[in-house]
Structure formats: structure tokens, C-alpha cells
Amino acid sequence: MKIEDLIDNFTFFDSWEDKYRYIIELGEELPELPSEFLTEEWKVKGCQSQVWLVPQKNSDGTITFLGTSDAMIVKGLISIVLCIYSGKTPQDILDIDIDNIFSSLGLHEHLSPSRRNGLESMIEKIRNYAAVMK
């Protein structure tokens, strides 16, 4: 899914209750992360839930991310983050204006402070991976 499609899908729903259900559905569609990645090495610090993010550098120079969480809503947020960042070059990842995208989705206003902090931790981890893989 492209970022534009994600934003369009969010505008389709009138209430945040419906948007939360959509976020959970996105999480349910996330491919299962192989158990060998459920280690401290891939764990995202700063999340209230357990979150793992794994980068994979592709032959074309782009990075694909895999991820999961033990919480359904967080799995949905991971799905959104992966939609935004996966399949991009390290420089493209570093150049993304995530605040603008989250503003278009309305995420910052409708997430609890702990979820916002966790989301920021995920973004920071992805940006760190991109900087190292550049």
C-alpha cells in the first residue's frame, strides 16, 4: 500500500472508533515475524508494548522492514510505519517528513501519550537503521 492510499483510507472513516478498527485490521494483515527475530537485538526500546523491527537491505539499495508487536493496535501502527518506510532507500527514509504524514492521518491527536512515545521510538529505530545502512 502507498502512503497516499493509506491517507485516503483514513479519510474514508468518519469516526476515530472506525479508524482504530481499521488500524487493528492493518495489524492483522501484517506477516508473521519469524521467531528468530523476537530477540533483544531487534526489540524497540521505549515502547510500552513489546515491538520488534528488522531491516533487510535489498539488492536495489532499498530497505524492507519486518515487524510485530504483542498488542493488536500497536501491530496496526507498525503496519502504518512499514507502509511509510519499507521499500525506500536509506536517504529517502531519512528525508521523509513523518510529522506531515501523521498530521494527515490525525495520529498524533488521537493516540495516547504512551503510544505516541512508542511510535516515536519506532521511527527513531528505523531512521537509525537507515543511517547505518546508507
Domain spans, the chain: 3-133
Distant-in-sequence contacts of 46-52, Cβ < 8 A, 24+ apart: 46/117, 46/118, 46/120, 46/121, 46/124, 47/74, 47/117, 47/118, 47/121, 47/122, 48/114, 48/115, 48/117, 48/118, 49/74, 49/118, 51/78, 51/118, 51/121, 51/122
Segments of 21-132 assigned E as strands: 51-57, 63-69
Is pLDDT of 91 > 90?
Answer: yes
From the candidates 6, 47, 63, 119, give the one annotated as an active-site residue: 47
Whole-model pTM: value is 0.93
Query: Which CATH number does the domain 3-133 belong to among 3.40.50.720, 1.10.357.10, 3.40.50.410, 3.90.1010.10?
Result: 3.90.1010.10
pLDDT for 129: 97
Residue 110's pLDDT band (cuts 50, 70, 90): confident
Q: Respond yes or no: is residue 47 known to be catalytic.
A: yes
